Structure 1
Amino acid sequence: VRQFDAQLQARGITSMKPPKSHTPAIEKGDYQFTRSKQILSATGLVLETYSCLQRNMLAQPLEARRQFAERAVFGTYEGIHPELMTDIRALLQEDRPDGQALHELIARAGEDGKAARHPVACELAALLVAELQGLEPAAQ
């Protein structure tokens, strides 16, 4: 890594290696009690950005905050399980889908729909099951 980094710097390319995140405990003859200076210098911009976003969010009316939060979270905690989505894509790529595999996917999609609590997630799960059931005649 050092050799590669030296070669990059010799060509005028800045180092890809991040700066060290720690400092010695004893510096200039004095014991350093905390690393707060290093932590704040490394995370200051993140904290500043987060504080601005939080202030802007809290300045919105309650209904707008609810809509923002719903849009930010929906699909992260509720929705189609990634493995199910991968299996559905694989099934759709087949020239002639396997009927048994399709039945299993319909059952799995139905289970995901039962677990959904958000009204939109419930509606999407029902639509997915209906679409998969629509593929059944093509699979046979």
Structure 2
Amino acid sequence: MPNIAAVLKDEIARIARKEVRAQTEDFKKSSAQYRAHIAALRRRIDDLERQLKRAGKVAARDNPAPAEEDDASTPRRFSATRLASQRQKLGLSAADFATLLGVSGQSVYKWEHGESRPRSKQLEAIAELRGIGKREAAARLAKLQDS
């Protein structure tokens, strides 16, 4: 006949396993659901990335960007000290420089002193004046003043 202590010990172990199994069963179920949900989300991300890549290739193939548009869309940097030095290099007053740009003399003054910043259209006009010399600047200014 088995020892009563051994039988009692086995019964306690069996009941403990049953209780632990009941308590951990909910966690196992929810963990399996979370893993399935994560896997579905990963598959969806992969599909969306493939679609995005495909759409980018189609867009690049259908609309090749001309070089002229790249120059216009290039963001321009602005420096107040460079603007002042450019104006002085051309030998122009703030008012004359403003006339060439199509803005007021006060705007040029504020740009040079860092009180404001030119808009993108004005930055393009400043960039166009970068490549001209004193004679061409004077000719353009005379032409604008005569008009």
Which of the five TM-score ranges fits, normalised by the shorter chain?
under 0.3
Larger helix share, 1 or 2: 2
- TM-score by length of structure 2 reads 0.27
- TM-score by length of structure 1 reads 0.27
